[in-house]
């Protein structure tokens, strides 16, 4: 087989495999991303079709679902007809309508992956998965374990194979059942290719075999690949590589075959009778695929068109006309929120509760990327969007010892697991458990085991924000920012949201986080722009910077004059509990302090209303009660052990508006929209827009597609129901004791989501938008391949231009009337389902 | 004695039955029924407790209700309420109550909300039966209900392969315990010449007298009880099923495998302690099994990186200690220990998803570099060996499988030459010969009748059931073979001892009715799905839930589920086997056990384990 080695490139195979495997990092660093990122170099429909043919993923909603949506009117008949006409020609409309609405299709499919390796089962009647997976998962889980086991992996972790070899050589018991494989492993005289040689026997099938093998447990393989790429994601370091995993699995397979057949087996390749074995060989697009695509397009545009119809109204509105500063009195306070769709409604409530308030949206790390080191912590926490590599470190300097005192819960103590100490435990703590159980069920309350957004930072502790000495470096990170760096950070944010004049005396900078209990996916609830953490530190750091006189002096040189009496104040919005806290209130001047106290009442009212709005989708809460009482129930829900949906996160997200607030201020968007503030007038070159899109496209697109795919195939691309989940090694969840890891989102997070691609609306001249997206090929790929949709709203003519096939083409909404929302509180009480885009009445 | 204890069945039974009648969409009504019936049971329990207290803690017992009565045999429901019952019943009701409240929100929108509450209430009914049982028959009824509800809850996510596979695995381990209990029942019939009520065992001298005279038999009974207890409580060497049972929603795992179901072994030992406390051998065995379980389970728990498995093994370790306490006669301590352990593990399991937040935070703020465990004192070779063994769970899972099921499978494969027609015709011919011989016994040498013909018939039954168990191709063939094996068992007993044909009819009517309906279900299913092989999981319950339910009922009927005619028939059958007929007993018992396995395997493969019946998943 020597000649074959030339054909098989081990490195290339590993590279390809890493590319296609799920890339979700351990739970504590959960960040949303496009589940099918491997196919993003292809146009959306083509990419998902490949994914579906090769890996057997469902990539659309069920055919019946689309038909139901059509019946209910969620899919608009006019839109559907228009899309068929565009794609298939006007004469084909009725024909396709007929097929889409009534024809029976066989929607089952058999994926390509796995077919080759399945021959072991078909021909030899040996279920290798059943024999190999349990021990393989167990070894992997124990090796990677971050602290569940009392007795952790006993060998110094230098690499999976090396550690296992060390264990095997010094142990009287073996992980292998046959002497042959045991000796082979202990001798160390084998390579990945040689093992494949033995098992498969034909070089041209090696790639295929390894893909089949690894995709039989994509969860664990993906986790290994992700850790190999970002070893720092584990607090207890565990060097590991896909190569080691594959070698170990091949050895286990060899062992199982030897054991089951007593040595009487032959390599797999000769058993294969079929034709080509290429996973990615050309694949056929069926009529059913076409039907799905048309339905999906129609489903999406039914919503998009609604949004555009509404934006058409607001972009013509009186407020839009009066954008020039002389028409406006300065607002009494301003508030910066994260662009997150969950902040969409709180901004509306704040503005409605206080007519002279103005809100802005910008990614929740507020333009200051850094690592954070709380007092007493053993590790840095990254507080920046996933792709950004921070170069600064912010340390906490605390005078009190409060922080270090971790609250303990005796039930998580590992002494309860030994028979001797456990004897005392069960005779004492056991009775306390009964009390806790009753208490927790009847009167849920915050507990040490919960994840609380407030725990992220000690608000009383001092942060080292300013760099004290240029040489003050730690692990290659500068401790604190220099004044000029601060000025740059602040200027960038203010410019990008268009807040360069008209400063109110108080500017709130409000990050967000979430609190939940019994929730391994807690990191997915926090701020995505802060790498799955709360945004409190960033808000506080930004405010400090913007308040610093030296920084303001430099800002003035850049043309941004912040009045001396203006003060920035950091805060944190807990999106699960709808609570808000503010930091460093003591630094406010007397005047601002007084106004702040009255604005706190505004925020409190807005939060109550927000809780009420959210509660309309919560079955267990009676929405009809007063906002205060609903809010109390919402808080209780967030700490209820038995509540698998403390909040609904990004479910239903579908829209990103990049433009002035006047476009959306009077719209009811039902918490479906990311809102990034942007002033086209100060960005004639599109450079600010590019910076916004660089962050917003992968963040919003990633969140949206993760929800999309987890929704349409919750079994393969999501994590299924979270109710039976078992936490493995603190890094992932699995079903039962010996199941594969389950990346993706659990069904409880996605069940109310509508699978719609993200729709970006940018308020800017189409040519400038085009220039901006084209100047970054990573950003451009998203739009060109239509993994997200893009529309430019020409600010002067108020016309829409859809981005399609490398160009912007004019788009006119079908002309549906935009409904005006009745009283919102009544609306919340009467509707549990998704609501259309509506105009708000009662203008202030 | 009045019927105070029977009152304790009103609410569990009413709750279960009404929960069956509610629409699956009506979550509110389902959880309300569960909540209310368990809450009312709490009140009723308090009332009975009060009655008991008024009576000065003297055990209450009732045994009025004979389900089936023939000369020489009567099947009586007997109830018994003493300190052990009080503790188990009150804790069980309390925890079930908590879990029903918990699940009301937790299960919201879950596919199978109704199924979940049906099963929980069925479990609760079974638990009440077991805890209140006043004789072996009643206990066995509860015991089997616990087994079936376990199976249904492990396979709650019935569209997925692993839960179903594990459910079948756990059921088959349970089945071993059932054999133990069945044999214990059979032997104690012979020992006491009656189906003995537990209340009678309180008389120390009376019991002691019996045991002195039948030391061999009573040792056998006690060891069979121990087998049943060790299986149910996941003691060594049966421990590995417990972590694998954690496939259902967390609250069901918590109540079943964290607390109530898994302690039933300890309950059985305490309930029957009057029977074995005179025998040192038995006490030693209980103690040794407990000690081995405690040590081994602790080792395995220490290396677990999956949180629920860790709690499962920790719980096994504590139950091992409870076994030791029981063996030593420290019942009060054992009861306290049970309560503490059950509450602790329930709570730990319910909060197990929080382990990520809690431990990650602890890790972030604790310097772990000097964190060492006690194993550092061991020599390296020893430490690594123990680690590897614990990592592999001492191979308990695979040994159990290889020792017990591989021989069965091997034997079944030897019968591959039997196809459907051969089997049917072979059966008709041989069985006719058998029947002919039965009615013309005069022509047979009496030596043959007493020595080997019953055994031969039973063996043929066993062979058929083995074939049914290993059949990979046709489901209906497997099903028919199970039915035929019942016929052979009857023939065997008919040869063994002349007995009333009424009993035979009673027994076989159960087999024929449930078997016949089941057969029709299979035929119908086969028409819908074209093929119905047993080589893989089809998951037909997703499209045909009603057929699945009907077939499940047939399965219960055919496998001799308590109160079904088949069950009483089986019980009667055993009374006609003599104490010295070990081979016959073994064959008949094995036939019943393997029948149960074959049937559950069939149900699982045809109706569960796959999201889409025709979807091939690699």
Question: Cα(A611)–Cα(A613) distance, rounded to whole angstroms?
Answer: 5
- Nearest Cα neighbor of A695 from A340, A418, A417, A374 is A340
The pLDDT value given to residue A321: 54
Q: Which of A378, A426, A644 lies at the smallest CB-CB distance from B365? A: A378
CA distance A529 to B291: 53
Q: Chain B: nearest CA to A643, how far in angstroms?
A: 6
Query: In terms of Cα–Cα distance, which of A391, A593, A580 is closest to A506?
Result: A593
Q: What is the ipTM of this complex?
A: 0.94
- The two tokens of residue B25 are 């969409």
Q: Measured between CB atoms, which of B94, B101, B351 is closest to A411?
A: B351
Q: Is residue B134 part of a domain?
A: yes
Q: What is the mean pLDDT of residues A542-556?
A: 96
> B347–A411: do the CB atoms touch at under 8 Å?
yes
pLDDT bin (cut points 50, 70, 90) of residue A559 is very high
**CA nearest to B591, candidates B511, B537, B499, B474:** B511
What is the predicted pLDDT for the residue at A40? 95
Residues B446, B536, single domain; the answer is: yes
As a whole number, mean pLDDT of residues B123-148 equals 92
Check residue A671 and give left, alpha or beta (phi > 0: left; psi -120 to 50: alpha).
left
CA separation for the pair A36, A709 (Å, rounded) = 8
Q: Kindly tell me if the per-residue pLDDT of A405 is higher than 80.
A: no
Which pLDDT value is given to residue A353? 93
Cβ-contact A234, A146 below 8 angstroms: yes
Q: What's the pLDDT tens digit per position in A310-345? A: 999 998 876 555 554 444 677 999 999 999 999 999
**pLDDT tens sequence across A575-597:** 999 999 999 999 999 999 999 99
> Using CB atoms within 10 A of its CB, is residue B406 exposed (0-12), middle (13-18) or buried (19+)?
exposed
CB atoms within 10 A of CB B35: 17
Name the pLDDT band for A397 (thresholds 50, 70, 90).
Answer: confident
Q: Give dist(CA B263, CA B316) in Å, integer.
A: 9
**A462-464 and A506-513 strand pairing:** unpaired
A220: left (phi over 0), alpha (psi -120 to 50) or beta: alpha
Q: Look at residue B494 and tell me if it is in a domain.
A: yes
Q: What pLDDT is attached to residue A325?
A: 46
Please state the φ and ψ torsions of residue A655, each to the nearest 5 degrees: -140, 145
For residues B142 and B79, what is the distance between their CA atoms, to the nearest angstrom? Answer: 12
Q: Are residues B115 and B244 in the same domain?
A: yes
Q: Which of A175-179, B154-158, B570-574 has the lowest mean pLDDT?
A: B570-574
How many whole angstroms separate alpha carbon B116 and alpha carbon A715? 20
Residue with tokens 């910076």: A691
Q: How many CA atoms within 13 Å lie on the side-chain side of A599? A: 28
- Alpha-carbon torsion (A520, A525, A530, A533), positive or negative: negative
Higher-scoring residue by pLDDT: A739, B321 = B321
Sequence length of chain A is: 844
- Residue B493 — pLDDT band, cuts 50, 70, 90? confident
Average pLDDT of the segment spanning A157-161: 88
Q: How confident is the model at residue A517 (pLDDT cuts 50, 70, 90)?
A: very high
Q: What is the mean pLDDT of residues B298-311?
A: 95
Q: Which residue has the tokens 């300890």?
A: B266
Mutate to test the interface with A, among B109, B297, B358 (most CBs of A within 10 A): B358
Question: Are B440 and B517 within one domain?
Answer: yes
- Total number of residues shown for chain B: 618
β-bridge partners, A451:
A516
CA distance B284 to chain A (A): 19
Six-digit token string for A298: 């129609």
State how far the alpha carbon of A671 is from the alpha carbons of A342, A347, A654, A667, B74, in Å: 6, 10, 9, 11, 69
- Our CA-based measurement puts residue A233 at a distance from the nearest CA of chain B, in whole angstroms, of 12
Residue B418 and residue B327 in one domain: no
Give B342-375 as a DSSP string: HHHHHHHHHTGGGHHHHHHHHHHHS--TT---GG
Q: How many CA atoms lie within 13 A of A328 on its CB side?
A: 20
| Boundary of a domain, candidates B309, B335, B357 | B357
Q: What is the pLDDT of residues A216-273, one digit of tens each?
A: 999 999 999 999 999 988 988 899 999 999 999 999 999 999 999 988 899 998 888 7
Set of chain A residues whose Cβ sits within 8 Å of the Cβ of B156:
724
pLDDT greater than 60 at residue B617: no
One domain, residues B254 and B165 = yes
Residues 6+ apart with CB under 8 A from B319: B233, B234, B235, B262, B263, B265, B266, B290, B293, B341
Q: Which residue has the higher pLDDT, B583 or A54?
A: A54
- CB contact under 8 Å between B305 and A644, yes or no, is no
Q: Distance between CA atoms of B588 and B592, rounded to whole angstroms?
A: 6
* Mean pLDDT to the nearest integer, B55-60: 88
Residue of A nearest to B612 (CA): A108
CB A718 within 8 A of CB A497: no
Same domain, B429 and B346: no
Asked whether residue B580 is domain-assigned, the answer is yes
pLDDT score recorded for residue A4: 41
A512 is in an annotated binding site: yes
B354·A455 Cβ contact <8 A:
no
In angstroms, the CA B460 to CA B591 distance is 10
* Residue B290: domain span: 5-357
Cβ distance of A148 and B246 shorter than 8 Å: no
Task: Pick A426's closest partner by Cβ from B156, B305, B318.
Answer: B318
Q: Which of B307, B356, B611 to mutate to test the interface with A (most CBs of A within 10 A)?
A: B356
Farthest CA pair distance, chain A: 89
- Mean pLDDT over B339-352 rounds to 95
Reported confidence tier of residue A401, pLDDT bands at 50, 70, 90: low
- d(CA B158, nearest CA chain A) in Å: 12
Using pLDDT thresholds of 50, 70 and 90, give the confidence band for residue B38. Answer: very high
Dmax over CA atoms of chain B, in Å, equals 88
Residue contact B388–A139, C-beta within 8 A: no
Say whether the peptide bond before residue B237 is cis (omega within 30 degrees of 0): yes
**Would the CB atoms of B301 and A431 count as touching at under 8 Å?**
no
Greater confidence (B71 vs A499) lies with A499
* Residue A338 annotated in ligand binding: yes
pLDDT at B612 over 80: no
Q: For residue A528, what are the CA distances in angstroms to A341, A511, A569, A647, A730?
A: 11, 11, 22, 16, 20
A150 to B388: CB separation less than 8 angstroms, yes or no: no
A157 marked ligand binding residue: no
Query: How sure is the predictor about B615, in pLDDT bands with cuts at 50, 70 and 90?
Result: very low
Query: Testing the interface with A: which of B348, B351, B352 to mutate, by most A Cβ within 10 A?
Result: B351
Q: Where are the domains of chain A?
A: 2-27+113-271, 332-405+450-647, 410-442
Looking at the partner chain, which of A28, A412, A734 has a beta carbon nearest the beta carbon of B355? A412
Spell out the SS3 assignment of A560-600.
CCCCCCCEEEEEEEECCCCEEEECCHHHCCHHHHHHHHHHH
Of B104, B360, B390, the CB nearest to A730: B360
Residue B228 has which token pair?
């049943």
DSSP state letter for B135: B
The owner of tokens 């123990």 is: B386
Cβ A359 vs Cβ A508: under 8 Å: no
> In percent, how much of chain A has pLDDT > 70?
96
Residues 6+ apart with CB under 8 A from B445: none
| Nearest one of A423, A456, A431, A427 to A541, comparing CA atoms | A456
Residues B446 and B310 occupy one common structural domain? no
The answer to whether A340 is a known ligand-binding residue is yes
- B307 to chain A, minimum CA–CA distance in Å? 6
Cα gap A839→A313, rounded to integer Å = 9
- Asked if A144 contacts A234 with a C-beta cutoff of 8 angstroms, the reply is yes
Interface test with B, best of A401, A526, A726, A748 (most B CBs within 10 A): A726
Q: A329 vs A683, which has greater pLDDT?
A: A683
Residue indicated by tokens 């203010």: A494
Q: Tell me A656's DSSP state.
A: E
**Closest chain B CA to residue A403:** B365
- With an 8 Å Cβ cutoff, are A724 and B157 in contact? yes
The two structure tokens encoding residue B384: 């690594």
Residue A403 has pLDDT above 60, yes or no: no
Beta carbon pairs, A and B, within 8 Å? 304
User: Could you tell me the CA-to-CA distances from B125 to A565, B89, B116, B532 in Å, in that order?
Assistant: 72, 11, 14, 34
- According to the model, what pLDDT value does residue A324 have? 47
CB neighbours of residue A43 within 10 Å: 15
Out of A46-50, A312-316, A639-643, A781-785, least confident range = A312-316
DSSP string, A207-249: HHHHHHHHTTSHHHHHHHHHHHH-GGG-SS-----HHHHHHHH
CB contact under 8 A, B106 and A723: yes
* In-domain check, residue B390: no
Distances (CA, A) of A361 to A96, A505, A602, B27, B122: 43, 19, 19, 40, 54
Assigned domain for B406 exists = no
How far is Cα B547 from Cα B597, in angstroms, rounded to an integer? 20
**Mean pLDDT for all residues in chain A:** 91
**Stretch A484-502: mean pLDDT:** 95
Report pTM.
0.94
CB A393 within 8 A of CB A468: no
Q: Tens digit of pLDDT for each residue in B419-470?
A: 778 888 888 888 888 888 877 777 777 766 667 888 888 898 898 888 888 8
**B252 and B109 assigned to the same domain:** yes
Angstrom distance (rounded) from CA A806 to CA A774:
9
Question: What is the rounded average pLDDT for all residues in chain B?
Answer: 87
How many structural domains is chain B composed of?
2
B612: chain A residues, CB-CB within 8 Å: 108
Q: What is the DSSP code string of A739-786? A: PPB--S--HHHHTT------EEEEES-HHHHHHHHHT-HHHHHHHHTT
SS3 call for A335: strand
Identify the pLDDT of residue A399: 67
- Reply yes or no on whether the pLDDT at B1 is more than 70: no
Tell me the HSE value of B607 on the side-chain side, using a 13 A CA sphere.
25
Flag the least confident range among A166-180, A350-364, B410-424.
B410-424
Confidence of residue B529 (pLDDT cuts 50, 70, 90): confident
| pLDDT reported for residue A7 | 67
Q: Which residues pair with A441 in a beta bridge?
A: none
Q: pLDDT: is B284 or A841 the higher one?
A: B284
Nearest-angstrom CA–CA distance, B595 and A406: 56
- Whether residue B364 lies inside any domain: the answer is no
Q: How far is it, in rounded angstroms, from Cα A401 to Cα A458?
A: 11
| pLDDT given for residue B616 in this prediction | 43
């Amino acid at each position: 087989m020597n000649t074959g080695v030339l054909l098989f490139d081990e490195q290339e195979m590993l590279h390809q495999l890493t590319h296609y495997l799920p890339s979700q990092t351990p739970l504590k660093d959960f960040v949303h991303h496009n589940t099918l990122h491997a196919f993003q170099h292809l146009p959306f429909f083509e990419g998902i079709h490949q994914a579906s043919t090769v890996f057997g993923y469902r990539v659309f909603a069920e055919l019946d679902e689309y038909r139901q949506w059509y019946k209910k009117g969620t899919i608009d008949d006019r839109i559907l007809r228009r899309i068929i006409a565009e794609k298939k020609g006007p004469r084909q409309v009725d024909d396709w309508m007929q097929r889409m609405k009534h024809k029976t299709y066989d929607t089952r499919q058999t994926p390509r992956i796995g077919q080759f390796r399945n021959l072991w089962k078909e021909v030899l009647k040996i279920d290798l998965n059943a024999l190999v997976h349990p021990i393989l998962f167990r070894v992997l889980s124990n090796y990677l374990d971050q602290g569940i086991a009392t007795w952790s992996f006993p060998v110094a972790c230098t690499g999976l194979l090396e550690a296992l070899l060390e264990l095997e050589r010094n142990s009287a018991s073996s992980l292998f059942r046959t002497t042959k494989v045991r000796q082979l492993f202990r001798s160390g005289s084998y390579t990945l290719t040689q093992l494949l040689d033995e098992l498969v026997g034909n070089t041209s099938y090696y790639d295929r075999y390894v893909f089949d093998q690894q995709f039989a447990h994509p969860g664990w393989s993906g986790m290994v690949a992700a850790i190999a790429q970002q070893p720092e994601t584990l607090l207890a370091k565990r060097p590991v590589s896909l190569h080691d995993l594959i070698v170990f699995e091949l050895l286990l397979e060899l062992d199982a075959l030897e054991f089951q057949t007593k040595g009487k087996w032959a390599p797999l390749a000769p058993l294969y009778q079929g034709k080509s074995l290429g996973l990615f060989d050309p694949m056929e697009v069926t009529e059913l695929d076409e039907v799905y695509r048309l339905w999906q397009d129609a489903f999406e545009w039914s919503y998009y068109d609604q949004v555009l119809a509404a934006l058409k109204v607001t972009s013509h509105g009186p407020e839009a006309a009066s954008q020039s500063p002389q028409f406006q009195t300065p607002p009494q306070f301003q508030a910066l929120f994260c662009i997150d769709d969950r902040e969409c409604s709180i901004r509306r409530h704040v503005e409605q509760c206080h007519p002279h308030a103005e809100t802005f949206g910008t990614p929740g790390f507020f333009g200051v990327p850094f690592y954070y080191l709380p007092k007493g912590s053993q590790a840095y926490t990254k507080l920046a969007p996933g792709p950004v590599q921070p170069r600064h470190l912010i340390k906490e300097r605390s005078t009190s010892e409060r922080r270090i005192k971790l609250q303990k819960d005796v039930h998580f103590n590992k002494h309860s697991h030994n028979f001797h100490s456990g004897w005392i435990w069960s005779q004492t703590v056991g009775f306390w458990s009964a009390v806790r159980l009753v208490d927790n069920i009847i009167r849920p309350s915050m507990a040490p085991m919960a994840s609380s957004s407030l725990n992220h930072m000690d608000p009383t502790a001092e942060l080292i924000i300013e760099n004290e000495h240029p040489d003050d470096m730690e692990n290659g990170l500068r401790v604190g920012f220099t004044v000029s760096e601060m000025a740059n950070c602040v200027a960038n944010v203010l410019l990008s949201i268009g807040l360069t004049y008209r400063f109110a005396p108080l500017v709130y900078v409000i990050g967000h986080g979430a609190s939940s209990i019994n929730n391994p996916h807690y990191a997915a609830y926090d701020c995505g722009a802060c790498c799955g953490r709360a945004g409190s530190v960033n808000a506080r750091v930004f405010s400090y910077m913007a308040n610093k006189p030296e920084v303001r002096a430099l800002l003035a040189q850049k043309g941004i004059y912040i009045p001396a009496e203006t003060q920035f104040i950091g805060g944190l919005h807990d999106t699960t509990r709808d609570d808000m806290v503010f930091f460093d209130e003591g630094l406010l001047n007397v005047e601002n302090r007084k106004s702040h106290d009255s604005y706190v009442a505004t925020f409190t009212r807005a939060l109550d209303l927000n809780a009420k709005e959210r509660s309309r989708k919560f079955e267990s809460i009676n929405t009809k009660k007063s906002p205060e009482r609903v809010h109390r129930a919402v808080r209780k829900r967030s700490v209820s052990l038995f509540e698998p949906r403390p909040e609904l996160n990004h479910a239903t997200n579908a829209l990103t508006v990049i433009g002035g607030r006047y476009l959306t201020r009077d719209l009811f968007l039902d918490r479906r929209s990311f809102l990034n503030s942007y002033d086209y007038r100060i960005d004639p070159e599109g450079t600010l827009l590019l910076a916004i899109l660089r962050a917003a496209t992968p963040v919003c697109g990633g969140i949206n597609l993760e929800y999309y795919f987890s929704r349409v195939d919750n079994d393969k691309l999501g994590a299924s129901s979270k109710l039976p989940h078992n936490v493995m090694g603190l890094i992932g969840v699995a079903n039962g004791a010996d199941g594969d890891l389950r990346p993706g989102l659990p069904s409880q997070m996605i069940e109310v989501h509508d699978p719609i691609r993200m729709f970006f609306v940018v308020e800017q001249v189409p040519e400038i938008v085009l220039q901006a997206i084209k100047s970054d090929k990573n950003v451009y790929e998203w739009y060109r391949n239509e993994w997200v949709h893009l529309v430019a709203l020409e600010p002067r003519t108020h016309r829409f231009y859809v981005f399609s096939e490398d160009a912007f083409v004019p788009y006119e909404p079908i002309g549906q009337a935009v409904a005006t929302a009745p009283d919102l509180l009544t609306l919340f009480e009467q509707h549990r389902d998704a609501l259309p885009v509506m105009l708000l009445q009662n203008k202030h | 004695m009045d019927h105070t204890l029977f009152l304790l069945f009103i609410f569990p039974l009413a709750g279960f039955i009404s929960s069956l009648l509610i629409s699956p969409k009506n979550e509110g009504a389902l959880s309300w029924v569960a909540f209310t019936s368990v809450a009312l049971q709490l009140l009723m329990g308090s009332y009975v407790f009060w009655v008991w207290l008024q009576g000065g803690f003297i055990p209450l017992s009732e045994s009025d209700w004979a389900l089936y009565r023939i000369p020489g045999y009567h099947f009586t429901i007997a109830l018994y309420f003493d300190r052990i019952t009080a503790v188990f019943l009150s804790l069980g009701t309390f925890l079930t109550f908590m879990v029903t409240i918990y699940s009301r929100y937790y299960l919201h929108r879950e596919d199978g909300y109704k199924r979940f509450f049906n099963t929980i209430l069925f479990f609760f009914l079974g638990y009440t039966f077991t805890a209140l049982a006043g004789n072996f028959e009643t206990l066995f009824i509860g015991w089997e209900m616990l087994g079936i509800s376990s199976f249904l809850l492990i396979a709650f996510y019935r569209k997925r392969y692993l839960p179903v596979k594990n459910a079948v695995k756990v059921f088959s381990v349970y089945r071993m315990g059932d054999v133990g209990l069945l044999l214990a029942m059979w032997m104690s019939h012979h020992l006491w010449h009656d189906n003995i009520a537990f209340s009678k065992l309180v008389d120390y001298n009376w019991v002691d007298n019996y045991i002195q005279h039948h030391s061999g038999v009573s040792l056998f009974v006690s060891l069979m009880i121990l087998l049943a207890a060790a299986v149910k409580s996941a003691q060594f060497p049966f421990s590995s099923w417990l972590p694998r049972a954690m496939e259902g929603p967390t609250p069901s795992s918590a109540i079943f495998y964290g607390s109530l179901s898994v302690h039933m072994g300890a309950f059985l030992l305490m309930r029957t302690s009057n029977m074995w406390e005179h025998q040192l051998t038995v006490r030693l065995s209980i103690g040794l099994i407990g000690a081995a379980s405690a040590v081994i389970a602790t080792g395995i728990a220490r290396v677990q990186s999956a949180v629920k498995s860790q709690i499962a093994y920790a719980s096994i370790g504590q139950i091992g200690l409870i076994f030791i306490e029981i063996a030593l006669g420290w019942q009060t301590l054992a009861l306290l220990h049970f309560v503490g352990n059950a509450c602790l593990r329930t709570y730990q399991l319910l909060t197990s998803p929080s382990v990520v937040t809690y431990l990650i935070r602890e890790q972030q703020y604790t310097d772990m570099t000097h964190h060492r465990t006690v194993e550092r004192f061991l020599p390296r070779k020893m430490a690594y060996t123990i680690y590897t063994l614990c990592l592999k769970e001492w191979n308990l899972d695979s040994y159990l499988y290889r020792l017990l099921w591989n021989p069965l499978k091997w034997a079944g494969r030897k019968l591959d030459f039997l196809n459907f027609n051969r089997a049917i015709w072979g059966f008709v011919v041989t069985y006719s010969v058998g029947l002919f011989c039965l009615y013309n016994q005069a022509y047979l040498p009496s030596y043959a009748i007493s020595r080997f013909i019953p055994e031969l018939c039973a063996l043929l039954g066993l062979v058929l059931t083995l074939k049914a168990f290993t059949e990979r191709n046709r489901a209906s063939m497997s099903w028919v073979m199970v039915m035929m094996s019942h016929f052979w068992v009857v023939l065997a007993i008919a040869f063994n001892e002349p007995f009333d044909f009424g009993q035979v009819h009673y027994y076989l009517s159960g087999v024929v009715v449930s078997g016949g309906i089941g057969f029709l279900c299979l035929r119908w299913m086969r028409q819908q799905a074209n093929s119905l092989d047993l080589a893989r999981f089809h998951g037909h319950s997703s499209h045909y839930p009603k057929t699945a339910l009907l077939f499940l009922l047939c399965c219960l009927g055919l496998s001799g589920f308590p109160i079904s005619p088949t069950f009483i028939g089986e019980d009667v059958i055993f009374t006609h086997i003599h104490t010295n007929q070990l081979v016959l007993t073994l064959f008949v018992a094995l036939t019943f056990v393997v029948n149960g396995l074959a049937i559950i395997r069939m149900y699982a493969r045809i109706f569960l384990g796959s999201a889409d019946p025709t979807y091939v998943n690699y």
